[in-house]
Amino acid sequence: MNQESPEVVTDALYLPPLSYFVAIGDSRKIILPGGDLMRRQSFVNKTVVLLANKTEVLSVPVHGVRKKQPIRDVRIDYQQKWLNVHLKGIQSAYGKSPFFEYFYSDLERVYLRKHPYLLDLNRELLTLCLTFLRWDVILEVSEKQVEEFSYRDIRGLIHPKRLKERGNVYAPYPYQQIFGADFVPDLSIVDLFFCEGPGANRILNLSEKSN
């Protein structure tokens, strides 16, 4: 992984792509600033999975986001039927994967808790991902102001439109996916878990961009 940086400040992303986990590397503490503003068109409320012949964006709908609204105050809109769409989409995409049973039931339990706030959902999903990776890392939500952080700051790095920046830390290492002959890089971490299971760490290590 990356040269060890004990503490890192990151965006609170929803089932982040592989590049996120490569970027946080050997960090021993991950800080999610609850006071950061909601970023539109980002991975804060969307993730990408692989279905038959195509990738699919799964988005968590939220109640109308005001300008300059902190992520901690963003509420999930459960009146929309997104929860079933996400669970059925994941089942459709990965139900026949070699490690589906290894990961799905724990993932489903997080969803069924129906966290009111997006930050809480993202934090618990990230905690689950770190547990499956067996990373010895502290995950903390902080209310400090941006200027107060003296740690490595990668907020904004892992973004759908910042492919070049993501490429500075992530060099895709192919693994066997469920659909298609061509490898699709940097999907949600769930793609790697379902396809590789306990081998996920090896793929992340091999996906680190060499200096």
Over residues 72-107, the pLDDT tens digits come to 999 999 999 999 999 999 999 999 999 999 999 999
Count the alpha carbons within 13 Å of 78 in the hemisphere toward its beta carbon. Answer: 10
3-class secondary-structure state, position 97: coil
Does residue 65 register a pLDDT over 80?
no
**For residues 19 and 44, is the Cβ–Cβ distance under 8 A?**
no
Enumerate the domain spans of the chain: 7-206
pLDDT of residue 170: 94
Could you give the CA distance from residue 37 to residue 16 in angstroms, rounded to a whole number? 18
The whole-model pTM stands at 0.92
Alpha helices in the chain (DSSP H): 18-24, 82-94, 100-112, 118-133, 163-167, 189-196, 200-206
- 118-169 pLDDT, tens digit per residue, is 999 999 999 999 999 999 999 999 876 655 556 889 999 999 988 888 888 9
pLDDT of residue 2: 46
Could you give the CA distance from residue 161 to residue 159 in angstroms, rounded to a whole number? 5
CA end-to-end span of the chain: 12
Does residue 41 register a pLDDT over 80?
yes
What number of residues does the chain have?
211
Mean pLDDT over each residue of the chain, to the nearest integer: 90
